[in-house]
Structure 1
Amino acid sequence: MRTTESEKLYEHNGILWRPKPSATATFEEMLAARAVFVEIHQDALWNPWVEDDRADDLERAEAVMGQWTRGEPWFRYKTNRQLDAEFADVDRRISAERAADEARWEHDSERYNLEREVARLSLLEMSSILARDREELAAYRSGERFPAMPHSIRAGNMAELEVTIAQREATVKRLAEQVGDPEDVVDKQGYLPRDRRVISLMYYRMNRERDVTALRAQIPELQEGLKQATDKAEKPKLRTEIQIAERRLADLLAVPPLTADDMCSECATPASKHGWVTPPYQGPCPAWPGWSARLREVRRMLEQSAARTKLKEADPRKPQPLATVPSGLPLGEVAKRLAELDAEFPGAIVKRGRANRWELWPPK
């Protein structure tokens, strides 16, 4: 920092600053305020709620910054006309890039190959499974996996796993030869994996912001509900819901700013979250062929179960008699019981039922 007291000019990172006549904030306070201003707005690019959470800090920073101005004699703030022209240039550049992408997509859609697309997804899936198997084998060898397992059983499991790994390595090699460059495989629309990752990131950001906003509102409501709860059975349920919501919110807030390169090309999930052990992974990608087939089978089973349940609920209940008189009673007792039931159910019809009992049914 260089200071010219006679002119009240202060230099920082090659930029000159001078206080306005009414300024009360020092140069150091102005620099600190600018740092806070930049920090909040940069953080808000990934976590939009920060601007609301730190609204007071932002207001104070802006008040301090407003007491200072640029010190170069030639410096002039851009006019609205100049800003509009710059925005128009940006719009034209974005439109040109979009037009180039659309032309590329239309051209590349003609080289779409279903077999190659499926092979690429199978390659991703098999590579993930192979990585899991290698990790499992390493854990067996180090003793980390099932430390108390007898040596003979451990050796047998390791031998089986080594055979499986060799088979999967051969499959990965075959698929890699069939696919070629995985990043050059287009879908039906002509989109490359890098194009779809941009879309995945957009949806992931939207989903994350929606979920964080909902959880930030839900948790205080649950906590207040717990305070007001008087039912002993309800309190443990609310505590569990709060713990789940807080854990989910913490996980979402811990996600650092991501780029398109961090995303799965097939779904709105970071690629690093695809795997076969939960946690730390969220699960396999639903577009991977093997996993997709398993999901379809589970869905089919659930739909069949739901259909059976619905059909069972829709079945009319088997009609039941209004009353019964057991067999084996004296004739006088039977007559007496029937007379009492006739008074209770006038017009009812008497029928012979199961086990020779008398049954009273509603009139037709």
Structure 2
Amino acid sequence: MGRAAESTLPDGVIEHDGMLWKPRRGATATAEEFITARMLFIDVHRDSRWNPWVLDERQAELEQAMHVMDQWRRAEPGHRMLTTRQLEARWARQDRQRERAVANLKKERDARKALYDEERASARLALFEHQSRLEHEVSELAGYLDGSRSPGMDPARRQEEIAALEESIERRRLEIERLALFVGDPETVVDQNGWLPKDRREYMLFYYRLDREQTVKQLRVEIPELATSAERKDRIKADLKRRRLDELLAVPPLSADDMCSDCPTPIAKHGWRTPPFDGPCPAWPGWGARLRQAREMLARAQPATRRNQQCRQPQSLNR
């Protein structure tokens, strides 16, 4: 609202955020205090969409802000708050709209199931894996060439590594070209349930947010207990968990576009060196095969470990 409009406002009425406000009878909070309190209230709740724990951390500030805001009310002529019945009617309409939207999405996905092509879906994942691996190898090659990677390496071995990487990069680029031609637009590749990648990203974001929230809360309980332990190993665990907590707290708000469509991980965290990456996507065929092989090896080792433990157990003296 401009200066001319402000000058026509009744005494005590202010314009803020496109709305008119005036103090209630007996209010002690000034207009500046009201605006500050309202902005804090909005900012904290906006932050809580991604970091829900801030509602607990800043509860005292929120209560004080609400105390100030309660001293002011809307000042538009004829303005009325919605009644409980009106609110319930609005919520019912919104529920029906959501139900229709979900039903339409399900209908679309069911129709897309017939488009599922297992070979194309697998090729899409292989394409992503090769692209990620290519980026990693190009970075490694640059490090060998400028000497920043393994500076103490024997020159002859360095040349061998460079030659191997150059050969691998060339093969990988050819494979990427072949896969890209076969796959076409990766965003149009449906899975066996008729889901498009963009649909799965929204799903993965939901699970990532849920896991992040639960992990942060769990770490905040575990860290103080470990940090005060007399055991050195517990304090080391506390440091590691604190580092993990700091990483999670530093994650900025993400959108579905930031997510991998095939696992609940931000796409920027997929890579071949940890840190800074969390690792490759387990859905990528090459990496997935390695994970399955590792699990099978562990499964085979467990029975042998149990047998060895049983052999080491002393026999009862009563036998």
Q: Using structure 2 for the length normalisation, give the TM-score.
A: 0.92
Aligned match of 1:133: 137
* Distance (whole Å) between structure 2 residues aligned to residue 132 and residue 186 of structure 1: 28
| 3-state SS of 1:69 partner | strand
Q: Structure 1 pair 317/203, CA: closer, same or farther in 2 (3 Å)?
A: closer
* Distance (whole Å) between structure 1 residues aligned to residue 33 and residue 151 of structure 2: 59
* Distance (whole Å) between structure 2 residues aligned to residue 242 and residue 316 of structure 1: 34
Alignment of 1:94-105 (within 5 A): 94-105=98-109
Aligned match of 1:189: 193
Asked if 1:117 corresponds to 2:121, the answer is yes
Deviation at 1:154, TM superposition (A): 3.6
Aligned match of 1:345: none
* Distance (whole Å) between structure 2 residues aligned to residue 103 and residue 255 of structure 1: 35
Structure 2 unaligned regions, length at least 5: none
**Contact between 1:137 and 1:158, CA under 8 Å: does it hold in 2?**
yes
Partner amino acid for 1:277? R
Aligned match of 1:289: 285
**Contact between 1:201 and 1:260, CA under 8 Å: does it hold in 2?**
yes
Asked if 1:266 corresponds to 2:262, the answer is yes
Asked if 1:241 corresponds to 2:237, the answer is yes
Q: 1:18 aligns with which of 8, 19, 22?
A: 22
Q: Structure 1 pair 168/82, CA: closer, same or farther in 2 (3 Å)?
A: same
Deviation at 1:296, TM superposition (A): 1.1
**Contact between 1:284 and 1:291, CA under 8 Å: does it hold in 2?**
yes
* Distance (whole Å) between structure 2 residues aligned to residue 316 and residue 136 of structure 1: 47
Aligned match of 1:58: 62
Aligned match of 2:227: 223
Deviation at 1:150, TM superposition (A): 5.5
Instruction: Tell which structure's C-alpha radius of gyration is larger.
Output: 1
| 3-state SS of 1:11 partner | strand
Aligned match of 2:72: 68
Aligned match of 2:88: 84
Aligned match of 1:254: 250
* Distance (whole Å) between structure 2 residues aligned to residue 160 and residue 31 of structure 1: 64
Aligned match of 2:172: 168
**Contact between 1:116 and 1:179, CA under 8 Å: does it hold in 2?**
yes
Superposition RMSD on alpha carbons, in Å?
Answer: 2.3
Q: Structure 1 pair 222/156, CA: closer, same or farther in 2 (3 Å)?
A: closer
| 3-state SS of 1:46 partner | coil
Aligned match of 1:206: 210
**Contact between 1:3 and 1:10, CA under 8 Å: does it hold in 2?**
no
**Contact between 1:18 and 1:71, CA under 8 Å: does it hold in 2?**
yes
Deviations 1:292-317 (A, max 9, x none): 11111111111111121223445698
* Distance (whole Å) between structure 1 residues aligned to residue 309 and residue 147 of structure 2: 53
Deviation at 1:180, TM superposition (A): 1.1
Q: Structure 1 pair 141/84, CA: closer, same or farther in 2 (3 Å)?
A: same
Partner amino acid for 1:204? Y
Deviation at 1:209, TM superposition (A): 1.0
Aligned match of 1:326: none
* Distance (whole Å) between structure 1 residues aligned to residue 212 and residue 179 of structure 2: 34
| 3-state SS of 2:264 partner | coil
**Contact between 1:3 and 1:11, CA under 8 Å: does it hold in 2?**
no
* Distance (whole Å) between structure 2 residues aligned to residue 318 and residue 25 of structure 1: 77
| 3-state SS of 1:18 partner | strand
Asked if 1:280 corresponds to 2:237, the answer is no
| 3-state SS of 1:308 partner | helix
Asked if 1:47 corresponds to 2:51, the answer is yes
Aligned match of 2:39: 35
Aligned match of 1:346: none
Structure 1 unaligned regions, length at least 5: 323-361
Count of aligned pairs between the two proteins: 314
- Tell which deviates more after alignment, 146-155 or 18-27: 146-155
Deviation at 1:250, TM superposition (A): 0.7
**Contact between 1:273 and 1:282, CA under 8 Å: does it hold in 2?**
yes
* Distance (whole Å) between structure 1 residues aligned to residue 312 and residue 171 of structure 2: 55
**Contact between 1:116 and 1:178, CA under 8 Å: does it hold in 2?**
yes
